[in-house]
């Protein structure tokens, strides 16, 4: 069941991440979480409170 949820979550975020980056031709640096990519992420808890912010690959202080 967990593998299904992970696959489902990955499928769900593609329209907001890698697909737009590909359309703009910037998918090597944006739209994915990989080494060398510029990652912008919000890490949320179960209540949707912000736990961490990652901007251009750097963790910001809250």
pLDDT digits (tens, 9 = 90+) for 7-60: 556 667 777 788 898 999 988 888 887 787 777 888 888 888 999 998 877 889
Task: Give how far the C-alpha of residue 3 lies from the chain's centroid of Cα atoms, to the nearest Å.
Answer: 18
Percent of the chain as helix, strand, coil, to the nearest 5: 35, 20, 45
Query: What does pTM read for this prediction?
Result: 0.56
């Amino acid at each position: 069941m967990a593998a299904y949820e992970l696959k489902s979550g990955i499928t769900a975020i593609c329209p907001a991440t890698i697909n737009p980056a590909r359309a703009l031709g910037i998918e090597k640096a944006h739209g994915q979480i990989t080494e060398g990519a510029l990652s912008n992420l919000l890490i949320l808890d179960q209540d949707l409170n912000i736990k961490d912010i990652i901007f251009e690959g750097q963790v910001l202080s809250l």
